[in-house]
Amino acid sequence: MALKKFSKYFNRWLARQSLYLCSLTVKFLPKSWLCGFAELVAVLGYYIASKQRKIALESLGIAFGSSLSRKDKIKIAKDCFRNMAKSGVELLYVLEKSELSNDLVDIEGKDYLEAALSKSKGVIVVSAHFGNFPLALIRLGQEGYKLNVILRRMRDERVDDFLSERRQRAGVQSIYTTPRPACVENSLKSLRNNELLFIQLDQNFGTSGIFVNFFGRQAATATGPVVLALRTEATIVPLFIVRQSDNRHKIFIEPEVMIEKKNTQDETLQFNTQKITSLIESFIRKSPAEWGWIHRRWKSRPSS
């Protein structure tokens, strides 16, 4: 037990020091060297993080089955690690000077966001752990939008504080999932103030979620965006950021998701959560290496 506790502490310490070292390194690297540095981090990460590599390949197997060869799955997994490394390096670079995001990120579909804000009911921005999503938040902050993101606290409080302080400096306010009453209160407050509330709807939600179809298999999914939209009349607007061939990024803002009411509350939640999940899946299918395959999305199973 003592050895296990020490191992956990050491791993967190090592991850924290690696973050600080990367942050310091990025400060002094010429911009033209960032991608090369990220490639090195990606290669090391793919071969060192054996647990995450295994999860990525298992997840790809669940999603694509025999429609993709093992060689193709390995390539997507490696590209996934590469994109995560690039995103991490870019984020550390931009968090120090958030105005640099203007040169890295273009926005398409901004009119959909403006139309939603014009209703003065707040906007629920739904997305996924897809592309360099923190960079998308910083870019929106630079556009002058008042922005809040719902997220879990990290296990390492010092790393959480390190990142939270930099997000806030870039104009992104954090709303933590726990304690739950505070999360709900702060979420409602942001919508009442006609602000953006960013929610990612692609993680396993355990017994608290509902099961919807995702890549042909049932996945436990949160109903938060739909519940909030029904309660506040806020508009749900999907948003995704995709890396381009020149390592720039483009934010795609989609038309609002119209909430369709069914015969019962449960049917309404099921139908509309499925609609959003299907949209997320469509973006992942178009750019599979952009999604975080290292998460066990299908871990929870429906009760028989």
Question: Each residue of 241-254: pLDDT tens digit?
Answer: 999 998 899 999 99
Looking at residue 255, the DSSP 8-state letter turns out to be P
Question: In this model, does residue 157 exceed pLDDT 90?
Answer: no
Q: What mean pLDDT do residues 91-103 have? A: 80
Task: Tell me the C-alpha distance between 50 and 29, whole Å.
Answer: 28
- For residue 233, what are its two tokens? 């009349």
Give kind and range of the element (H or E) at residue 266: helix 265-286
Residues near 90 by Cβ (< 8 Å), separated by ≥ 6?
A: 34, 38, 104, 132, 135
What pLDDT was estimated at residue 134?
92
Question: In this model, does residue 166 exceed pLDDT 60?
Answer: yes
- For residue 254, what are its two tokens? 């989609």
Task: Tell me the C-alpha distance between 155 and 87, whole Å.
Answer: 21
Residues near 185 by Cβ (< 8 Å), separated by ≥ 6?
A: none
Confidence of residue 93 (pLDDT cuts 50, 70, 90): confident
Question: In this model, does residue 32 exceed pLDDT 90?
Answer: no
Domain segments of the chain as ranges? 1-96, 99-287
Task: Tell me the C-alpha distance between 115 and 129, whole Å.
Answer: 25
Find tokens 């958030």 and name the residue.
Answer: 98
What pLDDT was estimated at residue 10?
46
What pLDDT was estimated at residue 6?
47
Q: Is the dihedral of CA 56, 57, 59, 64 positive or negative?
A: positive
Q: What mean pLDDT do residues 96-112 have? A: 88
Question: In this model, does residue 119 exceed pLDDT 80?
Answer: yes
Concatenating the DSSP letter of every residue in 133-197 gives HHHHHHHHHHTT--EEEEEPPPSSHHHHHHHHHHHHHTTEEEEESSSHHHHHHHHHHHHHTT-EE
- For residue 266, what are its two tokens? 């449960």
Confidence of residue 26 (pLDDT cuts 50, 70, 90): low
What pLDDT was estimated at residue 4?
57
> pLDDT tens, 200-250?
999 999 988 899 999 999 999 999 999 999 999 999 999 999 999 988 999
pTM of model > 0.75: yes
